[in-house]
Amino acid sequence: MHKRLVIFCLFCSIFLQGFAWSEHPMLARPALAGMDIWNKVEPAEVKHLKTFLLETEHRLEPFLANHEQRARTNLPHYQPRPDDLAFQAGGDTTDIVMRFFHAIRINPGMQMPLYLHLLPGEPAENRYPVGSVNPRAGNNNPPLHRSTHIRLSEGEKACPLAVLVTANDEPDYGFDLGLFTDNQTEYGARYGFGEQPFGNPNLAYSSQAPFHMAFYHEAGIVYKVAPELNCTFLDYRTDLFRELSVFAFNNEQHYWGWRFLGWSMHYAGDITMPYHSKPLPGYSTTRMLWINLKAMLGFPQDVQNAIQLVSNRHTAMEAYQRQEFRQAYLTKNYNHPFFRALAIPGFPVPFYDNFIRAGASYGAARKSLHADIVLADHLPGYMVSDPTIEVSNMPQLKNVAMLVHSEQGEESAEALNAMIAERLSAYSMTIRALLISVIQEAGLSGRDQPPAT
Which H or E run includes 158? Answer: strand 157-158
Phi–psi pair at 90, nearest 5 degrees: 85, 10
Q: How distant, in Å, are the alpha carbons of 114, 358, 435 from that of 429?
A: 28, 14, 10
- What is the Cα–Cα distance from 236 to 228, expressed in whole angstroms? 16
CB-facing half-sphere around the CA of 185: CA atoms within 13 A: 27
Q: Tell me how crowded residue 213 is: count the other CB atoms within 10 A of its CB.
A: 27
Question: Can you say whether the dihedral through the CA atoms of 81, 57, 269, 382 is positive or negative?
Answer: negative
Phi-psi region of 178 (alpha: psi -120 to 50; beta: other; left: phi over 0): left
CB-CB contact of 78 with 238 (8 Å): no
The single-letter code of the amino acid at 153 is: S
Helices 234-250, 254-270: crossing angle, 10 deg rounding: 160
- Could you read off the pLDDT tens digit of each residue along the chain, which spans 453 residues? 344 544 544 454 444 444 668 799 999 999 999 999 999 999 999 999 999 999 999 999 999 999 999 999 999 899 999 999 999 999 899 999 999 999 999 999 999 999 999 999 998 888 888 877 764 444 444 444 567 899 999 999 999 999 999 999 999 999 999 999 999 999 999 999 999 988 777 777 788 989 999 999 888 888 887 788 889 999 999 999 999 999 999 999 999 999 999 999 999 999 999 989 888 887 888 888 888 788 778 888 888 888 788 889 999 999 999 999 999 999 999 999 999 999 985 556 889 888 999 989 999 999 999 999 999 999 999 999 999 999 989 999 999 999 999 999 999 999 999 999 999 999 999 999 999 999 999 999 744 444 443
Which H or E run includes 45? Answer: strand 44-45
pLDDT for the residue numbered 125: 83
- What is the Cα–Cα distance from 72 to 178, expressed in whole angstroms? 22
CB-CB contact of 25 with 307 (8 Å): no
CB-CB contact of 344 with 428 (8 Å): yes
CB-CB contact of 276 with 20 (8 Å): yes
DSSP-derived letter for residue 201 is T
- What is the Cα–Cα distance from 412 to 420, expressed in whole angstroms? 12
CB-facing half-sphere around the CA of 267: CA atoms within 13 A: 28
- What is the Cα–Cα distance from 191 to 106, expressed in whole angstroms? 9
Phi–psi pair at 149, nearest 5 degrees: -120, 135
CB-facing half-sphere around the CA of 335: CA atoms within 13 A: 0
pLDDT for the residue numbered 333: 97
Residues contacting residue 321 through CB under 8 Å, at least 6 positions apart: 21, 22, 338, 420
C-alpha 36: how far from chain center: 25
CB-CB contact of 29 with 119 (8 Å): yes
Phi–psi pair at 210, nearest 5 degrees: -65, -10
Alpha-carbon dihedral angle through residues 173, 109, 249, 26, given to the nearest 10 degrees = -10
What distance, in Å, lies between the first and last C-alpha atoms of the chain? 58
pLDDT for the residue numbered 201: 77
The string of DSSP codes covering 367-424 is THHHHHHHHHHHS-HHHHS-TTS-GGG-GGGGGHHHHIIIII-HHHHHHHHHHHHHHH
- What is the Cα–Cα distance from 86 to 82, expressed in whole angstroms? 7
CB-CB contact of 140 with 204 (8 Å): yes
